[in-house]
Structure 1
C-alpha cells in the first residue's frame, strides 16, 4: 500500500475557499475516480495557512492513473477555474510518499 501526504500551502485568506471547494466538489470528483482520502487536517496555527491530507493507493501506478484522470476531468477543470476567478487558492503543494512501518499494528 502507498500513502501520499499532501500539504497545501494556501495563499493568505484563501483557507475558506479550499474548504468550500473540497466540501462541495473535490471529494465527490475524487470518489468518482476511485481516489481514497484517509483523513484531513488543518494547521493549528492559522497563520500557517496549511491543509494536510493523506491519500491511499495500491501502488504508484494507480496513483498516477487516478491523478491524471482527475486533472483531465472536465468538471474539475470548471470547478478549479470558477473557484479561482478572484484569486489563486493554493500557493504550492508538497507530496510525501510513505509506506506503513512494519512494527506498527494496523
Structure 2
C-alpha cells in the first residue's frame, strides 16, 4: 500500500497548480478546489484477467462518457494480494460525487457487472477511494 501512496504522490507532483488558502486548508491546485482521487481495488487472483478485460473494455469507456479523467493506473502483487490502483483528477468534490453517482447508476455498467459476475464470479474483493488535496508545501507547488 505504501508503494501506491508514493506512486500516487509522484504522479500528482507532475500536475500543475497554484497555492490557495480555502476554509483554513492550504492547497496547491489550479482552481483552489481541484482534487485527485486515489482508487484501490483488491482483485481476486483467480479472475484477475477477467477484471482487467472488464475495466479496459467497458469501465474506461463508460467512465469517459461520464467525464472521468484518469491520470494513471498500476497493479501491485505482493504475493498475498493483488491490487489495482488508479488516480483520477476532478475539478471539485461535488463533481466527483455526482459523476460517481451517475456512473454507478449507468444501466450499461450495471448490466456488464451482472454479466461478468455470472461468467467469472466476484472480480473485486474490496474497493476504496479517497480524495487527495495537495498541500501548499508540496514540492509540486514550489517547483514553479
The verdict on a shared fold, with TM-score over 0.5 as the criterion, is yes
Partner of 1:95: 129
- Name whichever of 24-33 and 3-12 sits farther off: 3-12
Instruction: Please state how far the C-alpha of 1:100 moved relative to its aligned partner.
Output: 2.4
| 4+ residue runs over 6 A deviation | none
State the Cα distance separating 1:8 from its structure 2 match.
Answer: 0.2
- Larger RCO (CA under 8 A, 6+ residues apart): 1
Q: State how far apart, in whole Å, the 1-side matches of 2:104 and 2:139 are.
A: 34
TM-score, structure 1 normalization: 0.90
Identify the residue that residue 55 of structure 1 maps to in structure 2: 88
Question: TM-score w.r.t. structure 2 length?
Answer: 0.68
User: Which of 97, 103, 109 lines up with 1:70 in the alignment?
Assistant: 103
Does the CA contact (< 8 Å) of 2:35 and 2:89 recur in 1?
yes
Tell me what 1:31 maps to.
64
Give the aligned partner of residue 140 of structure 2: 105
Find the residue that maps to 2:46 and give its secondary structure: coil
* 1:17-51 CA distance string (max 9 Å, x none): 11101111110000100111111000043542110
Distance across 2 between alignment mates of 1:92 and 1:77: 17
- Contiguous gaps of at least 5 residues in structure 1: none
CA offsets, 1:41-95, max 9 Å, x none?
0004354211000111111100111011101111101111111113111111121
Quick check: 2:77–2:83 contact (8 Å CA) kept in 1?
no
> Could you tell me which residue of structure 1 aligns to residue 51 of structure 2?
18
Cα RMSD of the aligned pairs, angstroms, is: 1.5
